[in-house]
Structure 1
Amino acid sequence: MTLAPTDPAAPGDTGTRSVAAPPALPERTKSKLLEVIKACDCATAQTLADKLGVTVPAIRRHLQDLQDAGQLEVRTEKPGGRGRPQHVYVLTEAGEATFPKAYAALCLDVLSHVEQLFGEGAVMQVMDARRLELCTQLTPLLGQHTDLGHKLHALARALCEHGYAARAYQEGSQWYLAQRNCPAPAVAKHFPQLCQGELTLYRELLGVPVSRESRLSCGAAECRYKVG
């Protein structure tokens, strides 16, 4: 790369000048960058720099930051299937997750329509089907353990993978399971069958009495279950 000639040194100037780094994108612009990539058919560094009105070196730095965060990946593609291959940036699953999703609202709408069309019993049938599927998935996992504490910790780890922020702990000799997050609070508030299905699921998986002491959907800080 050829640098432009420097200006003559001013009186008292040593003649040494530093080359300024390309301007950085504001942090909020990284969100805009993700939006542009999502909407762009061929998100090359040059294309993105043009759309955001910044230099290519600046855009590359922020693309690398987003790659390091696991929100982007680079693919080598030919535009329109022809021409020279180009490095194209695409969103990863983590990148897609930064965009608002209306899953809870959709689920609430679907269950409301099911209830209106087929009655409350139909909603319970849907919840039962979900419970049976989860039970089938988790039974082999918990079946690896015979100790209640080990089973509870295994269940808590599985629930964390589903977004429940769960933990298993003891107070004295009593075991508890706590969930600090509800993946679908609006659904749980309108359809308590969801919470009842979870309680039934935990009883089936653990093979011991389980009782709920608090619920997030009722304003508590966590869903807390007394186990055993």
Structure 2
Amino acid sequence: MTAVAVIPAAHLPERTPERTKDKLLEAVKECDCATAQTLADKLNLSVPAIRRHLQDLQDAGHLDVRSEKPGGRGRPQHVYVLTEAGEATFPKAYASLCVDVLRHVDSLFGEGAVMRVLDARQLDLYETLAPLLSRHGDLGSKLEALAEALCQHGYAARAYQEGGQWYLSQRNCPAPAVAKAFPELCQTELNLYRELLGVPISREARLSCGAAECRYKVG
């Protein structure tokens, strides 16, 4: 009799909840009509199990549900769709697209064109942030308000004092590839902070140059 190899349970591939949720998001993205039944069939899971994962993803803000008639007829069904946060879990090529666009701006419109484009973007940011900072009187309060606003834009920023000196640090760069290819982006950022705070500001460290943070000495 031929011996049959038995694979220990510890070596069987695991279907972790996280991996199942990843595959579920992929299935929702691919499906024209992502009902619980359709998704359960696609992932070879029971409908109750799928519903639990769907609820978790709704609670996390990755999915939304709406009532639709498949093909425009019949009884309405609950159909799951990706939210903006759910879409953001999939790889994007925004940085490379932005770099390519700026390179074309540079080649088509000549020296200084990229800086003008970035200056226009920073002007939009100034018009958004200036009213927020105007509610605060002293430099420290303004700087803390600026850090809070930057966090909402993905900069992981904080304002702090050392020996009476104010600093602004940013532990994350939302567009590191762009900043590395076009240092002008960092320059317009520095200009923006000077205009918003109305005091001298110097950059002491920069993420795009290999530092652990972008650090600004303020005042």
Question: Structure 1 length as normaliser, TM-score?
Answer: 0.87
Distance 1:80 1:213 in 2: 60
Report deviation, 1:54.
1.4
* Residues 1:212 and 2:203 are matched in the alignment: yes
Q: How does 1:83-162 map to 2 (within 5 A)?
A: 83-162=74-153
Report deviation, 1:25.
6.0
Amino acid aligned to 1:169: Y
* Residues 1:41 and 2:32 are matched in the alignment: yes
Q: How does 1:71-82 map to 2 (within 5 A)?
A: 71-82=62-73
Secondary structure, counterpart of 1:120 in structure 2:
coil
Distance 2:58 2:119 in 1: 41
Amino acid aligned to 2:129: L
Report deviation, 1:94.
1.3
Unmatched tracts of structure 2, length 5 or more? 1-14
Post-superposition CA distance 1:18-56 (Å, at most 9, x none): xxxxxx764312111101101111110000011111111
Distance 1:100 1:109 in 2: 18
Distance 1:212 1:201 in 2: 13
Question: Structure 2 length as normaliser, TM-score?
Answer: 0.91
Moved more, 64-73 or 43-52: 64-73
Partner of residue 17, structure 1: none
Distance 1:93 1:44 in 2: 19
Distance 1:30 1:57 in 2: 14
* Residues 1:198 and 2:193 are matched in the alignment: no
Aligned-residue identity in percent: 80
Distance 1:26 1:130 in 2: 41
Partner of residue 3, structure 2: none
Seen in structure 2, the aligned counterparts of structure 1 residues 25 and 62 have a Cα distance that, compared at 3 Å, is farther
Unmatched tracts of structure 1, length 5 or more? 1-23
Partner of residue 6, structure 2: none
Report deviation, 1:116.
1.2
Which structure has the greater CA radius of gyration?
Answer: 1
| Consecutive aligned runs of 4 or more in structure 1 exceeding 6 Å deviation | none
Distance 1:224 1:143 in 2: 23
Distance 1:129 1:162 in 2: 17
Distance 1:142 1:70 in 2: 30
Moved more, 178-187 or 130-139: 130-139
Partner of residue 7, structure 1: none
Is the CA contact (8 Å cut-off) linking 1:25 and 1:58 kept in structure 2? no
Is the CA contact (8 Å cut-off) linking 1:216 and 1:222 kept in structure 2? yes
